[in-house]
Amino acid sequence: MKNTVEFRSICPVATSLDIIGDKWTLLILRDMIWGHKTLFNEFQQSPESMPSKMLANRLKKLEELGFVSKRKGNLNKKSVYYLLEKRGLDTFPIMVEMAIFSSKHFFDHLGTTYTKEARTTMKTDRQGYISELVTNYKKFKRNLVI
């Protein structure tokens, strides 16, 4: 098992794909940003049912790359909290573009209900939407009692 990222070229798109180009990595960050999830078993509850082996593997990689940090609970010593760092938050614009793309082109497959206005907000005030969610996350992180 490899533990360092291999860069295939100096292309910025390829470089991003070398890091986040798989089916699971971004879903963890999605759950952190949109769902304020922090615990291993919270990530497991997501509708995509990430296998625990994959989850452990990707959390480790995300930590090594400085996307997230890991904190052992003080109150409950069995809990391990994963929190977003700046680098992790900076993947958010990529995910927003992904959301805009798939709700435009794969609309049928996504639930009509939540797609309609969510997409409108993202498109009409993309930067504002991003900023607000980032601000919210930071507040959540500040107030979190571990």
Q: What does the binding site for a second copy look like in residue numbers (CB under 8 A)? A: 7-23, 26-27, 30, 46-49, 87, 90-91, 93-106, 109-111, 115, 118
Which residues from 87-146 bind DNA, rule CB under 7 A?
none
The site partner of 102 among a second copy, DNA, none (C-beta below 5 to 8 Å per kind) is a second copy
Q: Which stretch binds DNA (CB under 7 A): 16-24, 97-105, 114-122, 136-144?
A: 16-24
Which residue, 72 or 104, has its beta carbon nearer to DNA?
72
In the complex, what is the shortest distance from the CB of residue 69 to a second copy, in angstroms, rounded to a whole number? 16
Cβ contact 26:20 at 8 Å: yes
Task: Based on the shown chain and the rule CB under 7 A, indicate whether residue 1 belongs to the binding site for DNA.
Answer: yes
What are the DSSP calls for 41-99, one per residue? HHHHTSTT---HHHHHHHHHHHHHTTSEEEEE-SSSTT-EEEEE-HHHHTTHHHHHHHH
Determine the Cα angle at 108 with ends 34 and 31, to 5°. 15
Task: Based on the shown chain and the rule CB under 7 A, indicate whether residue 40 belongs to the binding site for DNA.
Answer: yes
